[in-house]
Structure 1
Amino acid sequence: MTTLRAAFHFYSRHIEYLMILSFSILLPLLFIQVGVSNYVYRVYQGTPFTFFGDISNSFFMFFILVLAQIPFIRYVWGDLEGEERKLRSAYLTFFERGLSIYGFGILYVIATMLGSVLFIAPGLIVLVFFFLTPYVSVIKDKPASKSWREAVRWGKQKFFPLLGIVLLISVVDWLLGFVTMVGISMVTKNYGAILGSQLLVSLLCFPFLVIYMTLHFQKWLEDSAGL
């Protein structure tokens, strides 16, 4: 079974629990992103500094991507390990590992954004090299401060596969959001309806993307152990 098919199979079998995690953890984080970004846009509206709104939106969107992965990674890994109380472990891991990954996430996002502003290549290198840090932290049960070095090793070893997956996830997420926005805006111009539909798409799709990445990482770990 290919990784993509395995991800679809896992998603369909666990959809109800994944949605519990989405609505209880991901949704509040998305509300924070929307609230902060809208506030920044309003503050700088009509000034030459409206780009601060774009910066804050990009920062929080990327930061949420890092932080919100934690419970989903733990849930998927718990199932792969045959754990019975996967949902409980997902919540516990989010609160136990969240603080260390929170600090890592801020530095990671800032470094990636600065690298992308200066030159695109440094931003991509930082993005890929440190991308697996939350996965290593959750799966190996280590704080982010003790996980990033292993993540960098994986980033170097699997640079192009990881880059491809990250770009694929980004394109799929953007495309789904864009299609949803255009589709809803053809029916209504109500901001709440457009925002709600985009949030719903994120809540449905984000778990699948994390499942896909987790299963890929599991395969790499198994291949590495078999060498």
Structure 2
Amino acid sequence: MVIRSSLQLYKQEFGRILLLGLLVTLPVQLIAMFFTNYFYTYYGILNLVYVADWFFAFIILLSISFVQIPFIRLFQLHISREPVKVSKTIDSLMKSGFTVYVMGILYAICVVVSSLFFIIPGLILMVLLYAFPYAVVMEGEKWGSAFKLAIQFGKDNFFRLLGIILGFSLVEMTVERIIEFGVLSLTHNFLIISLVLLTVNMFFIPLFSFINGFVYAKWAGQLD
């Protein structure tokens, strides 16, 4: 039901999704790629690749939290039966962007630090907190209140959310590897390969946001 509804919404709003991907998702991904490559190059020279791994995890958690904002807003407009306009989704970045960015930094730090020695605590914390952008955009909550709401949502839906995260990651990774293999048969240019993979990821993020949005909206009593 959730996946089918998410796919229907994706198909219905594909034009706007593509535009938002080009305006928001892809630029953020390019910035994230730049910093990721910088850290791997710098710490690789020092033989401290594991430190670069920490920065990579931090950047991924922060960027994925931020780029979901317009798609969460698009989803909210859809379920509230309001006209879906790109201007409204972009406006949500203006209203919620700073809050989600700062909270995303705190979220990423907490998850990375808790994962330094043991993966399980970091994974648990990631699941419990990762819905905070939904609390900010869909509920209008901020800071501690948004984290508190996200934790309650995470506790009530822990294994379902864990399944969504792991399942989605597995599917996306599989698709990316297949496409990467195809691109490598044509070129070994790092920039081209990276841009293709970023574009693939750009198309997955909205669907991920919609699936989580339906789960969150049902939990919050926002669905009819």
* TM-score after normalising by structure 2: 0.93
Alpha-carbon contact 2:62-2:108 (below 8 Å) kept? yes
SS state at 1:189 partner: coil
Cα deviation for residue 165 of structure 1 reads 1.1
- Residues 1:73 and 2:72 aligned together: yes
Return 200-209 or 8-17, whichever deviates more.
200-209
Cα deviation for residue 136 of structure 1 reads 1.3
Aligned to 1:33: 32
Cα deviation for residue 81 of structure 1 reads 0.6
Aligned to 1:200: 199
- Report the Cα distance in structure 2 between the residues aligned to 1:116 and 1:40, rounded to whole angstroms: 19
Alpha-carbon contact 2:71-2:89 (below 8 Å) kept? yes
Alpha-carbon contact 1:134-1:144 (below 8 Å) kept? no
Aligned to 1:63: 62
Aligned to 1:135: 134
- Report the Cα distance in structure 2 between the residues aligned to 1:189 and 1:119, rounded to whole angstroms: 36
Gap regions ≥5 residues in structure 2: none
Q: CA RMSD in A?
A: 1.8
- Report the Cα distance in structure 2 between the residues aligned to 1:73 and 1:101, rounded to whole angstroms: 12
SS state at 2:18 partner: helix
Q: Deviations over 1:26-48 (max 9, x none)?
A: 11111111111122222233322
Return 25-34 or 57-66, whichever deviates more.
57-66
- Report the Cα distance in structure 1 between the residues aligned to 2:102 and 2:68, rounded to whole angstroms: 15
The verdict on how the C-alpha distance between 1:221 and 1:51 changes in structure 2, with shifts beyond 3 A counting, is same
Aligned to 1:123: 122
- Residues 1:87 and 2:86 aligned together: yes
- Matching residue's letter, 2:28: L
- Matching residue's letter, 1:138: V
Gap regions ≥5 residues in structure 1: none
Aligned to 1:110: 109
* TM-score after normalising by structure 1: 0.91
SS state at 1:30 partner: helix
Cα deviation for residue 134 of structure 1 reads 0.8
Cα deviation for residue 53 of structure 1 reads 2.8
Alpha-carbon contact 1:100-1:145 (below 8 Å) kept? no
- Residues 1:14 and 2:45 aligned together: no
- Report the Cα distance in structure 2 between the residues aligned to 1:62 and 1:131, rounded to whole angstroms: 9
- Report the Cα distance in structure 2 between the residues aligned to 1:100 and 1:92, rounded to whole angstroms: 14
